[in-house]
Every structure is written in C-alpha cells, then in structure tokens.
Copies of this chain bind each other. A is one copy, B any other.
C-alpha cells in the first residue's frame, strides 16, 4: 500500500469544486464530528437542533444549510444539502489507498487468466483459469476468483473474498472480507423417501457497476438463470441473497437481511436491517421496508412497510402475547357483544 494523503484545502477551493458559497475562510485538512473536531477540521450541521454542540465546537469551519446560514460566526460553507456536501469533502480529503500494480509471488494464476498490468494481486490470491481482471483492480490477500470470472475495472476486493466460477462483476465494485459470491443456491428436490436430490445450480451472479458489498454477505448463483445485482446497489454485512434474486439499481439493504429465492426487488428501495423477504415475489421501486419486517407478499406500490413487535417489559409482553394467541376468539366475542346490543336496541 502506498500512503496517499489528501492535501489541505481552503474553503474557497471546496466551493469551487462542489458549489455552495463560503463565508469567511479556513484551511481544511480533515472532517470530524461537532464534538471531536479541532484545528483544521470541517464539520456539518445536520439540523438546527445541534446548535448547542455547534456553539461548543472547535472546528475551523462548518457546512450548513441555507436556512442555517447565519446560525454561527464560524467560517462556513452554505449549501443545499450539508450531509451530502460533507460526504464530498470527506471523499476529497480521504482518497482510497493506492496499491502497487503487480502480482505477488505467492499468487496462483490459472491458465488463460488475463490480469490487467495495472491491477494489484496480493499474497495468496488464487485466480482461476480464464478469469479476466480489469484495470486498476485491487485483490487483497487470500481472495479467490473462480474460473472465467470477469471483474470490471477499479474493483477493490478486501482480503478473503471468494467468487465462484463464471460470475460477472461490474466496474468500481467494492467487496469486503468474507463475502462469498456465486455459491450454489439452496435447491433440492424431495425424493419419495423424504431425502433430497440436489438440483445443479447452473446460473451465475451478475453484478453491475458501483456496487458495494459488506463483510460476510453471501450472494448465491442462479439455479437456471442468473442472480442479478444492478448498478449502484449497496449491501451491508451478513446479508443472504438467494438464487435468482434481482435487486434493482441503487437499492440499499442493511445488515442481517435475508432475501429468498427469485424475489425481485425494485430500484431505489431501502430495506432495513434484519428484514426478511420471501421468495417469488415482486417489490416495486422506492419501497421502504423497516428493519425486522417480513415481506411475504408482492408490494406493487411504493410506500413504507412495517411489521415487528415492539419490545416491552417481559411481564407485560407475557400478558399481552398470551392474549394474542386468542385474538381471533376475542374478536368473535366483540362481534357477539355488538350483535346482542344491536338486538336490544331494536327491542327498546
């Protein structure tokens, strides 16, 4: 790894790159939180409710929204979306580390694999026959790329990523350690005696551009067709994506979510952590699913969907949930009461 430090930037240069307008000036070397900032740091104000912390901050400058333009006398950048602006500044100040091109002596490269000379292939990497590794890709130690895999340019695979044979991975892909792409889907046909016959998993995983995949997430190959992750999808850690799932462009899914086979998820969706998506259903674009929610039916229209149990003190929960087991009977009782009263009303 070659260290690459972002150089400090005056507010004026930030504004000339990213827009907004500067009031006052300061030279910015790093981003920080309101609480932890010091000399040379820039912070952002997400909401006027953090005004007290803003008053106490030791930051050299702050990024604020138009409505908060005069909330501070600190040097500042005024813009439409302080959080997004902050993200741009942080990306500028913290460029990804650069890796020396070349193939480590311990790497094992299969016959006919084509590795761009600008790619970095780390120690103990194994690349299968016929694989193609694009320009400027970084494959850190212990990555294992199956035969005939294609990896687009500017990919970054952290240590110990496994990609099974024939998968097709797009450009600017980031994959964190422990991810497994292209393992067999869970397909078994029951025999007459109740044992299982494995169904060969013949599809691939096809991943678009600008996708990021969190640590220890698993994405299974398709059974017959492919499992597809479209452009710009962001997956957190420990997510299970089953065979033949399709995840639409720019959808973001938080950790511990499980997606069953052949589910089709739309574009621009936001799925909370530990959600569960049944198989063979379709979710429209721009659907938001709360964490811990089970989606068991297709969701044909955009919206916010939720289904989980709020935690209570254990004793209260026990009482309420013993009732829940008899909710149908309770509803019947209420209907009987309504009927009886209606009859009485008629009589009197």
Closest CB in chain B relative to A345 CB, distance in Å: 8
Q: How many angstroms between the C-alpha atoms of A307 and B320 in the bound complex?
A: 10
Chain multiplicity (copies): 3
Please tell me which one of the listed residues B91, B177, B305 contacts residue A312 in the complex, with CB atoms under 8 A apart: B305
Contact A124 B147 (CB under 8 A): no
Q: Which residues of B contact A7 (CB under 8 A)?
A: none
Residue in chain B with minimal CB distance to A285:
B194
On whether the beta carbons of A289 and B311 are closer than 8 Å, the reply is: yes
A218 engages B240 (CB within 8 Å): no
Asked if B324 and A313 sit within 8 Å, CB to CB, the answer is: no
The verdict on A33 contacting chain B, using a C-beta distance below 8 Å, is: yes
The answer to whether residues A220 and B237 also contact, given A176-B184, A290-B314, A323-B331 and a CB cut-off of 8 A, is yes
Docked pose: A317 CA to B308 CA in angstroms: 9
12 contacts between A and B (CB under 8 A): A84-B191, A91-B199, A124-B124, A176-B180, A186-B254, A237-B240, A294-B309, A294-B310, A307-B312, A309-B309, A324-B324, A334-B337
Interface on A for B, CB 8 Å cutoff? 1, 30-33, 36, 81, 83-84, 86-88, 90-91, 94, 104, 106, 108, 122-124, 126, 128-129, 140-142, 144, 147, 158-160, 162, 164, 174, 176-178, 180, 183-184, 186, 188-192, 194-200, 202, 210, 212, 214-216, 218, 220, 224-225, 232, 234, 236-238, 240, 242, 250, 252, 254-256, 258, 260, 267-268, 273-274, 276, 278, 289-296, 303-314, 316-328, 330-331, 333-334, 337-338, 340-341
